[in-house]
Structure 1
Amino acid sequence: MSEIKRSAEQNAMLTKVNSQSGFIAALDQSGGSTPKALKLYGVEENEYSNDEQMFDMVHQMRTRIITNSAFTGERVLGAILFENTLDRSIEGMPSAQYLWQEKNVVPFLKVDKGLADEAQDVQVMKPMPELDALLDKAVAQNVFGTKMRSVIKMANADGIAAIVEQQFAVAKQIIAKGLVPIIEPEVDINSPQKAEAEALLRDELIKHLNALADDELVMLKLTLPSAANFYADCVAHKNVVKVVALSGGYSREEANQKVSENAGMIASFSRALTEGLSAKHSDEDFTKQLDQGIESIYQASIA
């Protein structure tokens, strides 16, 4: 008998993610990546003077995207938020609530606190001593799932085993709260051992997936593989709700092409989603650019 309890809303979200076509928007740039995201959006570092102003500006960017008529649950399955966004409002509603109730987009929350220093050719996640409190806050706001990222640099079997073990240990803590974790062990696209690292990673993922109870559900967010359909066994696994792809530094065009070559894999892009958007755009130009980007990523994800 299942011990995992989900609200009626979370079950509706699970049905949507399981059964509907679309992709997941990654709107979760945090501390270190925010200045870069703003710069690509046309906001220079001299336009804000502290972290609070910086996060105000990135929230304005995200709000402009999320409230836009092109951004709806018809093509966008879900959106990953940064904790700072979860704590803010969009058009007078808590951000996660706005996403689901107004846009029919499933809310996820980035929960990791960044990467530890490199060891064994990987970067595991920093400790998360306050994770339980953050998960309770997510549950209270009807968030559906979480996301946490590690990075693999080389095909180091011990390092990759350590990354996957940590990811699944934290995932179980998240699952126990009724949330669905997105496990993201990113393989650096510039690694000279990318394909070899992917082979080690896939074996570790399958081993840990096979050890899950029937009702312990996860999602995987993976670097687009060197060989098409390399993660087919993960896509088909009974405990995997969805396998989503990160753009990892590829251009949107290249990332879309690679997603379309991997059956059952859908996009979860950050920089490739916001590519071409500018703070200087008129509302009409912004909508046109966003709509084109969303449509191209959607088409790649349903190919």
Structure 2
Amino acid sequence: MNERQAERMRHGAGFIAALDQSGGSTPKALAAYGVGAERYSTQEEMFDLVHAMRSRIITSRAFSADRIIGAILFERTMDGLVEGRPTAEYLWEVKGVVPFLKVDKGLAEREGSVRLMVEDPGLGALLERAAGAGVFGTKMRSVILGADERGVRAVVDQQFEVAGQILDAGLVPIIEPEVDIHAPDKMEAEDLLLAALTERLDGLEGDREVMLKVTIPSIDGLYAPLMDHPRVMRVVALSGGYEREEANVRLARNPGLIASFSRALLEGLSDGQSREEFDATLAKSVEAIFRASTT
């Protein structure tokens, strides 16, 4: 573990930029950016376009370490170059931003009230590549759709099992058990999640640390006990489908919880904007999310 990066993640003021849209979500991200399906005919062309979008964000003067402490990358973004340098290297050496990598391969079909992660026999090789590329940590997402104790525990157990493999590889896992904001019993599901996470955190051995990425809770301050847990490096929040303004308002009511927004960060950006327009729009988003993360 890079101790300078770890210290930044534990105590740095700012938020994490989630730039990790994968194959399933990339067309939507590109469409929101003003790049329609007529601009590409193959998956390779699609990923080239999204890498160009991400590179434009990362190299913008609005994307700086005084507001952004980390960035989550998609595998192809990690493998690509930004201004001639490997992306993770550019983030840390040029921008001072800690690089993370999305490592899950998507969600399995719904089972009861949850969607677990697809099993990935190639995870070990990916973690080795990530460590070699200078990546600090990883992120992996599951989804909780209702307040079913058995389902919530299945999600948390799978997350911690995979987290153990990630920690063994020398990386810090961001555990992301997303609670769907449309769940009719969201509040009850979050209570179950808090209990399950606390139990597994209490069972971590030695000085192992993880990060947590959660949906902004219905009850303000619900996850405050997790922020004080000795095995938790940082607790971050996803926007979860809320528009940026609402997500920021909700986030600001949870002191200590910082953003790890994707769609909300990119809101308003367009391929057709001039450099000045693009930078100004991104700067506005970054400032608003930073303020919500440091309130």
TM-score normalized with structure 1 length: 0.97
Map 1:236-275 → 2, pairs under 5 A: 236-275=228-267
Q: CA RMSD in A?
A: 0.6
CA distance in 2, matches of 1:240, 1:257: 24
Shift of residue 72 of structure 1? 1.1
Please list every run of 5 or more consecutive structure 2 residues that lacks an aligned counterpart in the other structure.
Answer: none
CA distance in 2, matches of 1:195, 1:19: 29
Superposed CA offset, 1:242-299 (max 9, x none): 1000000001000111111101100000000000000011110000000010000001
Map 1:1-303 → 2, pairs under 5 A: 6=1, 10-303=2-295
User: Percentage identity across aligned positions?
Assistant: 55
Q: Which runs of 4+ in 1 moved over 4 A?
A: none
CA distance in 2, matches of 1:53, 1:260: 39
Shift of residue 11 of structure 1? 1.1
Please list every run of 5 or more consecutive structure 1 residues that lacks an aligned counterpart in the other structure.
Answer: 1-5
Q: The residue matched to 2:151 in structure 1 has which SS? A: helix
Shift of residue 128 of structure 1? 1.1
Letter in 1 for 2:245: E
Shift of residue 214 of structure 1? 3.6
Letter in 1 for 2:208: E
Shift of residue 141 of structure 1? 1.0
The total of aligned residue pairs comes to 295
Does the 8 Å contact 1:120/1:158 carry over to 2? no
Q: The residue matched to 2:50 in structure 1 has which SS? A: helix
Q: The residue matched to 2:290 in structure 1 has which SS? A: helix
Letter in 2 for 1:300: A
CA distance in 2, matches of 1:154, 1:18: 31
CA distance in 2, matches of 1:86, 1:72: 19
Q: The residue matched to 2:261 in structure 1 has which SS? A: coil
Letter in 1 for 2:10: N
